[in-house]
Chain A
């Protein structure tokens, strides 16, 4: 009985999650072909219009249609967040697996370097990287990817260290498997649960960090819209024209909710202990 109810909830979560993520994805895709207005078209006479029939979500301080900008910004925001998470996790998995599995001097060298990186606030680190790479969306991806990688390294290494003590890892050595096979066939798949949790929360951090960078004038350069820079530019008008901040804020919140629900469903689905089949 309880199991059934639990599965029911699991499916509902997965369903809500995928609907939200698909909606955002569809929005981004649609914006490539069509938006209600030109997302970068300035119309100073229409500035700071509240939501109405003509402008469904109102206009910003330059009279640009907020809905159009949200749609156009969806693609950039998702791309930046997705690629950043992929980069950070990719680095984290490789370095964390190597350090955790082989241990010894290699582990010590990698971890000293990693902890030094962790000692800097992420944004500060990202700022430094962006000065070198350049202030555009690729710069953001590289900068935030590098800034968040140390956290991923820590998570992966921690899991690997505890998994290493399991007898099935020793069994894999007894069978005659190479270190590489042991790592990829037996250790990595068992790290999936913490990795999925990390990836979904990181997705949120990145979207917010991107808006912080925009706020500092280092994000995706204007006039190109992202949810982050829309949120940042809406801040001065929070009392007079709240819709400027509410619309991108709601988009970020709903996307994060979707990603998190989907992540949880993915984690459970990958776990053989959950009887989902």
Chain B
């Protein structure tokens, strides 16, 4: 489509005349979905020009809907039933489709949560960057290119020329989110809506993207509406905060006063959900290790260079040795691509090791016979990251939890029922047996996954980012559940996470991995108080714990 084919709104320059109006003013906004209860109930807040306002709440609080209403992008079944959204004094709700289209991108930009799906995989980065530019501004290809390259430099893409010719799949999540940010900021919007912009990223890239976003918007004078469930981000980057709960505004005000002196119980519970370092667990008597990795290497077939050439395997784990004692919780921490997930899979025999060996109760698995491998398989379990994909949608909760028991000693129907019920009770889901996974929330699903993993009383459990996909408050609850069950049942646990703050609550020992190698290991106190490696320090820096509030207080 030619850029001149529809009218573009004139952007009134507000910097010249002193305008007391806030850039965005949301007044008594009420939004209804298909249900009687409104998704947003008379929510009001302002975003001043150039300011950063955080919209905070758990999933289902309506924070995303609020962001979408500002863009005039409510989903089909959802309508604005009351109140107004005033952007630079104009009501978004009454704008024509053309006016809205001119508004989007040009005055209001949006960065979405999922960098993996928000860029079009079939278009080069250049095409996607130019699309918006040429839609809203009459630029030649050469001019657009120049602007795009300059912007890519600013989001710290190392080789912008090469980046322009590349496709999204060639970039990591953090880089994609930076490219997304570049494409939005190219148009110099007055308001940037960032909807959970870093939730899908590991804590290192999270930090990186947020720093770049903060710097870029500050220099451009762009206001930011930051939608997030992470109070750490709020404390670091926002000036004021709006707390939503189930569509209602609970509390609003400057970040410092809300976070350090919350008045509402809900805000307090959000703050309490920030990870806290638990007291150092008592030192354990040294025992024979339950499971031991000895110089383990794991490789994946790499990309083939040519048609006929053989692929060169890529090493994901390069010579990792670690031992876990019965009842010990060892955390493996690292950014994405550090090999931590691969190591976890290899330790329970889901991936073959390319070198070295895993010993279970002293027997190397490489030498174990079929029966030995079977015993090992039955003694190990895995808790997955994504509770939405780890449960079979066609099985009832009861059947999901009962399935591992098929491989134990034969049980009577009553005994099976009883142990399933007991397990569900232990994870706090008594009475949920007849439900299907789709009828459960993310936290409840993760509880089912934990029940499935523990029902056979495994000796060793690998927990692969078990709380990363959950809201902060739910995260806290699930972590507490895991910690309680671990203390009661005493299984050995390899706890994988990208977030140091999370593991500080549960681990006896922390191992930091980078590029498939262990770079540092030690007790929680060693890692937190006396980090030796720069990589570990970067991870610590990126972790948001409740210490953050103390920092905020000190300012």
A→B interface (CB under 8 Å) = 1-3, 166-168, 170-177, 186, 189-190, 272-273
Contact = CB atoms under 8 A, between A and B. Distances in A.
Given A173-B350, A174-B350, A168 B389 contact: yes
Given A168-B389, A186-B392, A190-B394, A175 B436 contact: no
Nearest to B436: A272
A2 B36 CA distance: 12
Interface string B347-366: 01010000000000000000
Contacts, number: 62
A190 B392 contact: yes
Contact of B393 (A1, A176, A190): A190
Interface centre among A166, A174, A186 (most CB of B within 10 A): A174
Given A176-B377, A176-B407, A177-B403, A171 B393 contact: no
A274 to B, nearest CB: 10
A135 B452 CA distance: 55
Contact of A176 (B34, B404, B438): B404
A171 B382 contact: yes
A174 B348 contact: yes
B34 A171 contact: no
Contact of B384 (A1, A167, A190, A272): A167
13 contacts: A167-B389, A170-B382, A171-B452, A174-B382, A175-B406, A175-B407, A175-B452, A186-B392, A190-B393, A190-B394, A272-B394, A272-B438, A273-B438
B267 interface: no
B390 A176 contact: no
A273 B436 CA distance: 8
Nearest to B405: A175
B52 interface: no
A174 B384 CA distance: 11
B378 interface: yes
Contact of B34 (A2, A186, A272): A2
Contact of B380 (A174, A190, A272, A273): A174
A175 B394 contact: no
A176 B77 CA distance: 44
B420 to A, nearest CB: 14
Main secondary structure, interface of A, reads helix
Given A174-B350, A176-B378, A168 B391 contact: yes
B384 A170 contact: yes
Interface in B251-278: none
Contacts of B384: 167, 170-171
A272 B394 CA distance: 6
A20 to B, nearest CB: 29
Contacts of A168: 389-392
Nearest to B348: A174
Nearest to A2: B34
Nearest to B408: A176
Contacts of A1: 34
Interface residues of B, number: 28
A170 B406 CA distance: 17
A121 to B, nearest CB: 31
B350 A170 contact: yes
B116 to A, nearest CB: 14
A3 B404 CA distance: 36
B394 to A, nearest CB: 5
Contacts of A171: 382, 384, 390-391, 449, 452
**Which 4 residue pairs of A and B lie closest in terms of their CB atoms, listed nearest first?**
A167-B390, A272-B436, A176-B407, A167-B384
B394 A174 contact: no
Contacts of A2: 34, 77
A49 B380 CA distance: 78
Contacts of A3: 34
Interface in B364-393: 374, 377-378, 380-382, 384-386, 389-393
Nearest to A168: B392
A177 B436 CA distance: 21
A273 B440 CA distance: 11
A185 to B, nearest CB: 8
Interface centre among B350, B392, B404, B438 (most CB of A within 10 A): B392
A167 B393 contact: no
Nearest to A189: B394
A166 B452 CA distance: 16
Contacts of A173: 350
Nearest to B456: A175
A25 to B, nearest CB: 29
B327 to A, nearest CB: 21
A2 B35 CA distance: 9
Nearest to A190: B394
Contacts of A166: 389-390
A172 B395 CA distance: 12
Contacts of A272: 393-394, 436, 438
A175 B350 contact: no
A272 B452 CA distance: 20
A173 B389 CA distance: 15
Contacts of B452: 171, 175
Contacts of A174: 348, 350, 377, 380-382
Interface in B21-75: 34
Nearest to A171: B390
A170 B377 CA distance: 13
Contacts of B385: 167
A190 to B, nearest CB: 6
Nearest to B387: A167
A9 to B, nearest CB: 16
A189 to B, nearest CB: 5
Interface centre among A170, A173, A175, A177 (most CB of B within 10 A): A175
Contacts of B378: 176
A56 B375 CA distance: 74
A168 B389 CA distance: 6
A1 to B, nearest CB: 7
A171 B445 CA distance: 14
A1 B33 CA distance: 12
A173 B381 CA distance: 10
